[in-house]
Amino acid sequence: MKKLRSWSLLWVLACLSACSAMAPKLETPRLTIISVAMTSGDIFSQNFRVNLNVQNPNDRDLPIKGIEYRLFLQGDSFAEGTSARSFTVPANGETEFDMTVRTNFVSSVGRLLTRLGGKKTVEYVLEGKVMLASGMIRTIPFQESGSVNLETKL
């Protein structure tokens, strides 16, 4: 009886490892900020349109149901949230999409203005998770950095 339990446990472990070996290996998509523009705002809050390019290095389509993100501008936390817009990035392809980012003056824009000193190019770090609509893997973490020109004076 003891041998039967040992063999059963060994069989279950072998099946589980086989399942994990069959799981698709997905490379992290590359998210690049193309532009940032203020769309509306007052003294208490501002809305920005952040235009992103998403590149898919995988040999299968990525059905994205949303993106959880944290956006840092000039080394300072600027915004965080979730974009719930669904879209599909074709296999070995790319697509662009816009997401609306809401900030408040005191915690974000005010600090950014003091760090810019008249520059129109902003260094950014964008990190978070891409949430997939289907498949065995449902989230893919990412972290990207670069610089972007501001489309509007802040």
Residue 129 has pLDDT above 70, yes or no: yes
What's the CATH code of the domain at 76? 2.60.40.1820
* Sign of CA pseudo-dihedral 30, 139, 68, 78: negative
57 within domain boundaries: yes
Asked which of 16-20, 36-40, 90-94, 118-122 is least confident by mean pLDDT, the reply is 16-20
Q: Which residues contact 15 (CB under 8 A, 6 or more apart)?
A: none
**Is residue 113 a contact partner of residue 120, using CB atoms and an 8 Å limit?**
no
**pLDDT for residue 89:** 95
Residue 6 lies in a domain: no
pLDDT tens digits along 1-24: 666 666 666 666 666 555 544 556
Does residue 13 belong to any structural domain of this protein? no
CB neighbour list of residue 75: distance below 8 Å, 6 or more residues apart: 115, 123, 125
**Average pLDDT of the segment spanning 114-121:** 67
How high is the pLDDT of residue 154? 40
Residue 143: which pLDDT band, with cuts at 50, 70 and 90? very high
On whether residue 130 sits in a domain, the answer given is: yes
What pLDDT band is residue 112 in, cutting at 50, 70 and 90? low
Per-residue pLDDT of 26-81, as tens digits, reads 899 999 999 888 888 777 788 888 899 999 999 999 999 999 999 888 888 888 88
* Domain membership of residue 99 as a residue range: 27-149
In a domain, 17, yes or no: no
On whether residue 134 sits in a domain, the answer given is yes
- The number of folded domains in the chain is 1
C-alpha neighbours within 13 Å on the C-beta side of residue 146 = 14
Residue 113 lies in a domain: yes
Does 154 map to a domain?
Answer: no
